[in-house]
Amino acid sequence: MNRPFEGLRVLDATHILAGPYCTYLLGLLGAAVIKVENPREPDPVRGRGPVPALNEAGLGFNYLVQGSNKRSLTLDLKTQAGRAVFLKLAAEADVVVENWRAGAFPALGLGYDDIRAIKPDIVYCSLTAFGQDGPWAQATAYDPTVQAFSGIMQRTGAAMGVPVMPGAPFIDYGAGLNAAFAIASALFHRQRSGEGQYIDCAMLDLALVMTGPALVADDYQGEKVPLPVEAGTSCYRAKDGWLQLGAYNFRQAKRLWTALGRPDLAAIDSWPALWAATPQIRTALEAIMPSRTCAEWEDFLREIRVPGARVRSLPEAIAIPQVAARNLLQEMPGLAATAGVRVPGAPFAFAKDGPAIDRPPPRLGQHTDEILAELGYDAQAIAALRDDGAI
């Protein structure tokens, strides 16, 4: 294969979800990724998941889901010898990614300026909760904290009067995807200019951007009117469950109401008219939706090219043929302990030379000796590093 990032070397000093997902995507596209962990305090997600035996083995599901296509090296970066190894690796790397508290890596002598001094064209990405600047820069946070901080929890639960966290760590994974895109952009910039780059990715920035038009509307201080929750894009009770209707634009609404025999509602052709008719539309839909099952509605709506879907559980979603057709969930090769475990590959496909899982997530320190030997350490030097607690 000739994937886009083959030949690129990535030094991955990340943990939990966002940072490891970023480097996972780079690895799926061919980059050679070395995951660096403290030998006595490894990535805590290694021990998180619903299968105790895998947790004990450091192969918890929270780790497996973004651990493939990497090699594992243990280094204690609080030791001088550990930092020396890291710098040797950085001198040969194309990308360094870290997601520790702002200022932590520069304090160790492993910040961007330190690495740039030995590798001028390095692409160095720091992924933190709040970024490198501002009064909250030094604060630590995880996905739920950022969801609370950004207003997402409050907005999600506004109708119920209590904050509600969406049922997935989408800020973590969105931040990882965002960082991977930023790194890819910086690598393209380097190819054209020969210059390295420092990238400052903040989970809070990503969270706010993902609120989309709501962010702009709430920030605007001029005169504005509140918009109703559009009846054509709401959930309704069908005969056997909930169905999300998505008749968003006028063409879709026209097709829907024409098929349902309501020419008066099919004639709506402007946003103000649509908003004014919201109560009427909602009343009509609440009356008609219970007349069919969700499956019948899905077939009906597909036929007239109007979005709509039954509200499914995650296990139900995984089981639908569409997911199998996309080949999103893949078994990891060559790891007997995880037989039967499937993880998501990349959320996109290439026509050729696309993302692929080549190797399973490594056990803690699995490649330490191998990587050190590649750096020129002989068996005696490696043993000394181990005796000193550096690896």
- Catalytic residue numbers, as ranges: 172
HEC secondary structure over 153-206: HHHHCHHHCCCCCCCCCHHHHHHHHHHHHHHHHHHHHHHHHCCCEEEEEEHHHH
How far apart CA 299 and CA 136 sit, in angstroms, is 50
Q: Which class for 244: exposed (0-12), middle (13-18), buried (19 or more C-beta within 10 A)?
A: middle
Q: Write the CA distances from 306 to 234, 289, 318, integer angstroms.
A: 13, 15, 23
In angstroms, the CA 292 to CA 70 distance is 49
Q: Give the Cα separation of 90 and 375 in Å (integer).
A: 11
Edge-to-edge strand ranges of the sheet holding 95-98: 70-74, 32-37, 9-13, 95-98, 123-128, 197-202
Unique residue bearing structure tokens 């099952």: 293
CA distance 258 to 343: 43
Token pair recorded at residue 299: 């077939």
Residues 6 or more apart whose Cβ sits within 8 Å of residue 147: 153, 165, 166, 171, 207
Cβ(202)–Cβ(181) under 8 Å? no
